[in-house]
């Protein structure tokens, strides 16, 4: 993939992180909830994400907080309130050293798959990264009787358990990249990862779109519109097709991201003071 994250200096990366918050909001991947983080480009033991703000209104560097990957504590002890679910992000950075961006979403297109118990599989060529099976994380198995059962991944213990679902059962305790790029979260949403912001946003976006396409296809198949036509199983990507499409996805994600940047720049709701300060250079991904 066209990952430039490790070689990117911090200010333009923070500007892109702010814009990515806006992109995810603009496309209904996040509302008042849900979040995106990045690993610090020069200190892999730190990750950065917005403080306790709705993603649409994140606008400047002071809206962002740095956290230690080790335990999710803020680098600056006087930092303001943060997201209680930042442990999703920290534990993924801890387990997968090649991951530089994490996105967590409560996508209303994806949630029905867990409620209905229907596997989320790639329905078209933009979702090959879903592979043949998307795992589901069920936090309820981890609860103690006295726990508040709110589904929030708000401890390192819960975060590590979620991160383990991105790896195959035989994977080592840490590795560069995960075996699975998306994990569903029962009664909650989904999380995806990337080597760059562009990778992760692409995967979040097309996990959401693929869920909509698949739901529409399943409804159409069960409708009366096809009367008189021989019914067959849903025509989903094969394993080989998913693998091939994933390669294509990873080569082209940056093009889509450039378009999404321009979309949110045209919407007055979204303010990125860092982009204004840096001008066009801050949004030049080359």
Choice among 85, 91, 195, 250 that is catalytic: 85
Nearest 5°: the CA angle 68, 69, 70 is 90
Closest by alpha carbon to 101, among 26, 47, 31, 147? 47
Establish whether 233 is a catalytic residue. no
Beta-carbon count within 10 A of 136 CB: 16
CA 34 vs. chain centroid, Å, equals 9
The whole-angstrom separation of Cα 124 and Cα 210 is 7
Q: Residue 233: CB partners within 8 Å, gap ≥ 6?
A: none
Beta bridge partners of 47: 39, 67
Catalytic residues: 85
């Amino acid at each position: 993939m066209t990952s430039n994250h490790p070689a990117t200096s911090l200010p333009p990366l923070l500007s892109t992180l702010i814009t990515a918050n806006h992109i995810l909001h603009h496309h209904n991947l996040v509302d008042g909830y849900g979040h995106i983080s990045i690993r610090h480009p020069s200190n892999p033991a730190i990750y950065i994400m917005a403080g306790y703000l709705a993603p649409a209104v994140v606008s400047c560097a002071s809206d962002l907080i740095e956290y230690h990957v080790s335990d999710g504590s803020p680098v600056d002890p006087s930092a303001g309130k943060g997201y209680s679910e930042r442990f999703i992000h920290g534990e993924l950075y801890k387990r997968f050293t090649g991951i530089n961006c994490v996105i967590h979403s409560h996508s209303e297109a994806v949630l029905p798959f867990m409620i209905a118990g229907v596997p989320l599989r790639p329905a078209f060529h933009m979702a090959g990264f879903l592979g043949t099976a998307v795992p589901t994380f069920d936090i309820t198995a981890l609860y103690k009787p006295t726990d508040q059962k709110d589904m929030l991944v708000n401890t390192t213990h819960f975060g590590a358990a979620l991160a383990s679902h991105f790896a195959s059962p035989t994977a080592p305790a840490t590795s560069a990249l995960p075996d699975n790029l998306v994990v569903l979260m029962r009664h909650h949403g989904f999380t995806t990862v990337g080597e760059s912001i562009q990778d992760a946003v692409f995967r979040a976006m097309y996990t959401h779109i693929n869920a909509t396409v698949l739901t529409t296809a399943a409804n159409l198949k069960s409708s009366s519109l096809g009367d008189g036509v021989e019914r067959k199983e849903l025509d989903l990507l094969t394993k080989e097709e998913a693998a091939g499409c994933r390669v294509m996805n990873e080569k082209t994600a940056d093009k889509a991201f450039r378009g999404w940047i321009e979309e949110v720049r045209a919407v007055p709701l979204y303010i990125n003071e860092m982009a204004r300060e840096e001008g066009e250079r801050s949004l030049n991904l080359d």
